[in-house]
Structure 1
Amino acid sequence: MEEEVYLRMREAILQGDLPGGERLVQEDIAQRFGTSRIPVRDALRRLEADGLVEAGARGVYSVTRFGPDDLKEVYALRELLEGHLVEHACEHLTGEVLEELEQLHQDMEQARADQDPEAYVALNQRFHRALYDAADQPRTEKIILSLWQGIPPLTPLTIEHRMDESSREHLAIIEALRDRDAPRAATAMRAHVATAGRALLEHVARGDVNLR
């Protein structure tokens, strides 16, 4: 039950059904899901760890407000951490992992040709996870994943032309990995994250996306 409450509330927050600043009353949530307060409390703690809700001085939860400045902070952190992780991964990359990354890139190319952003997003996440797993730095990877989870909207890949740019950026990363050029791979990843962040900020500025 706790998992169901967590997943459904997380989806509602990321989709904007629960706006920033909205107070979350545990008794009301428990009644809505037909459960006790314990799974609700545990789900709220997980959402707090994701950065999607915050607890006040008296333990009262509310949906975290998220604006352009927060977006800039998240992408600045991602740029630093993901560049670092890729540089480290390059030094430990096996041929098997490189083949997996190349196959995922080919699959993303097919999703892009099919204009299937949902498939592209899922493959993109697998690409990044496979690369970061290769670095074998679980604490850093956990921080990165928490930054991914707390961003509404979750990805800028649905923005027009962003899949095309993303594909070119992934190829630049793969080429650097093939050459075992760790600094170039890190630079390519930082550029990839920075470009995604700028695209999303521009999207917000135009009013195409409303942040909480």
Structure 2
Amino acid sequence: MIGSPEINKLIRKILSPTLKDNGFDKVNTRNNWGWKDHCIWVLDITAVGKYFSDVTGWSPMSVYVELGIYYCFVPPKDGELKIGTKAELLPKPHQCQLQKQLYCSLDQSNYTYHFDNPAEQKRNDIWWIEPDGANIEKVINNIKQSFLSDGLVWLMKYTDLVTAFKEIESEHDSFNKFYKARYFAEHLNDNFKFEEYSHLLEKEQKRIEGLFS
């Protein structure tokens, strides 16, 4: 069975140079970051692993790719952020205020047609990697294509703070939305929305506390 070192070698050969050429400053094979004036770009490549493989039928070395934008003026809620050797912030995608997955455009039906779960047959947010690694180059090239055609466009779009704020405001009402929106409004000097979201955040906090009292 193919191992991570063989996959990582092709990631570094095919994908890493593209990330370096398009805004990523710290390219660590499967974990990558780019620092902008007010935000951090994140791209992670993760293997689905043995447990997921046993449950669903996907090969354990199959991967999914997550993107995120971390806005530095929004204090972290979910634990401490990892700090690099140069005191730089290294958020994970799930810690980012905006998140996105990349999607596979390869025909993978020859791998998935026999799955018991129809949803697993149709999903395109995972790239199947054959146990012997025969299709690794094709997979990494498709990830690169997905990044250039979809991921990079998304990162550039939501690096604009006004656009990102509008996206956050379009989310379903929740503590998480109000929390992010409050700090965006403060950073953008929108006093009216800052007061609005501060009030909504306080109200939602009290509602949640009431559920456990």
Answer yes or no: same fold by TM over 0.5.
no
The structure whose residues are more often helix, as a share, is: 1
TM-score by length of 2: 0.25
The structure whose residues are more often strand, as a share, is: 2
- Please say which structure displays the higher CA radius of gyration: 2
The structure, 1 or 2, with the larger RCO (C-alpha pairs under 8 Å, 6+ apart) is 1
